[in-house]
Amino acid sequence: MIKQHVHNDMAMKEQACPDSVREILSAPARQQARKTIVQWPGYQPTKLQSLQAFALELGVEALYYKDESTRFELSSFKALGGAYAVQVMLRDAIKRSIGSDVTLEDIGYARYREQASQITVVAATDGNHGRSVAWGAQRFGCNCVIYMHNQVSIGRQEAVEALGARVCRVQGNYDDSVHAAAADAQLHDWHVVSDTSWPGYMDIPRDVMAGYTVMTAEVMEQWPLEELPTHVFIQGGCGGLAGAVCLDLWCRCGVDMPKFIVVEPEAAACLYESARAGEPRMVDITVESLMGGLSCGAMSLLAWPVLKLAVNDFLTISDDPVGPLMRRLAREESIVAGESAVAGLAGLIETCKSKDRYAQLELSPTSRVLVFGTEGATDPEVYHQLIG
């Protein structure tokens, strides 16, 4: 069920992406990320799947689902961000320490394992980002400590530990784990590799977002229709994903930009609240949403200038449609979609249940909608419980 909805009057319509937005993630930064990530062992573009039966039922012309459940061995788009940022951070740190040139390729081939082994990366996570950072640390040869609040499942902890990282449990919620990671990093001289940004800490989250744009680059190459998507429903946690998706698609589509709609859990609606206030706002998370990956109370400051100008509507949803939708995707489309994967699609489905909202979001029988299935069964036990 849609719980809240705000239309964003600041959003630009049918205009080329302004320089103020482009500069947040430059084209060379996005290209560098792609060039690097496609060289990682096992790289394969993930599938863009047509959900034609859903499209018919919802009253739109086409619906495409970018299925991230097969993204490397991590089964989520997050594999693209954290691990890439670890690679960039190691290049820069080792370059500074040895005083000569080091390339991303050098780090990719672990040519400075000795120097990397002296470095520790640290991140806070609801599961997927920490796993990506741990995976990068393991491949590139540095140490890794991951902070998790105590509602994150044991399965997710074990997945991170299996990649050689040490896990620290933190009382409180995701935002508390972000603070604990940053404070301990300062104490021990560790390198924070966060997917969210704050004043004075933007460079690494920018690399994380650059990694995510590999996914949107793939989508635009795979898009099978002559005409571009008209609507993109994208789920929001701290907003890094939505920021990267909006920015990259806006740059690629120009004046034919789609309408962007952000969907969040009602229990963690920091992007919705920011849109309502016209400036970044935090929310205090008191109840953990089933969509654990989206359970963030503080938005990434780097994403705000993008979202403010790109996103037409911000929606929040309850947890109720999540399990049934995961089951339906498994049964009818053979898609393995985790709890946080289906929020964008659920936002679309719930929108189409109301004639008024369908019209407000300018949906029509000629709409071509794109959604991102951002994870597969990232915790198999939770997934099987929900699927039944």
Ligand X SMILES: Cc1ncc(COP(=O)(O)O)c(C=O)c1O
> Which spans of this chain sit near ligand X (rule: CB under 6 A)?
76, 78, 126, 128-129, 195, 235-242, 293-294, 296, 340-341, 374-375
| Residue 372 contacts residue 344 (beta carbons within 8 Å) | yes
33 to 95, 136, 173: CA distances (angstroms) = 19, 14, 31
Q: Which is nearer to ligand X, 73 or 114 (CB)?
A: 73
State how far Cα 173 lies from the chain centre. 18
State how far Cα 245 lies from the chain centre. 9
Q: Which is nearer to ligand X, 90 or 244 (CB)?
A: 244
Shortest distance, CB of residue 378 to ligand X, whole angstroms? 7
Catalytic position from the list 78, 259, 319, 379: 78
Shortest distance, CB of residue 78 to ligand X, whole angstroms? 5
HSE-CB at 86 with a 13 A cutoff on CA atoms is 33
Indicate if the alpha-carbon torsion angle 196, 20, 214, 136 is positive or negative. negative
Shortest distance, CB of residue 159 to ligand X, whole angstroms? 12
Q: Which is nearer to ligand X, 244 or 369 (CB)?
A: 244
Shortest distance, CB of residue 369 to ligand X, whole angstroms? 18
Distance between CA atoms of residues 18 and 185, nearest Å = 36
Which are the contacts of 162, defined by CB distance < 8 A and separation ≥ 6? none
Query: Catalytic site residue 313?
Result: no
Neighbours of 275 (CB within 10 A): 26
Report long-range pairs for 188-191 (Cβ below 8 Å, ≥24 apart): 188/120, 190/120, 190/121, 190/122, 190/145, 191/89, 191/93, 191/119, 191/120, 191/121, 191/122
Nearest to 325 by CA among 313, 314, 336, 316: 336
Distance between CA atoms of residues 382 and 155, nearest Å = 8
Query: Catalytic site residue 353?
Result: no
Catalytic position from the list 67, 126, 319, 379: 126
Shortest distance, CB of residue 181 to ligand X, whole angstroms? 14
Helix (H), strand (E) counts: the chain: 17, 11
Neighbours of 143 (CB within 10 A): 17
Shortest distance, CB of residue 361 to ligand X, whole angstroms? 20
Q: Which is nearer to ligand X, 203 or 227 (CB)?
A: 203
Q: Which is nearer to ligand X, 93 or 333 (CB)?
A: 333
Q: Which is nearer to ligand X, 128 or 351 (CB)?
A: 128
**Active site residues per annotation:** 78, 126
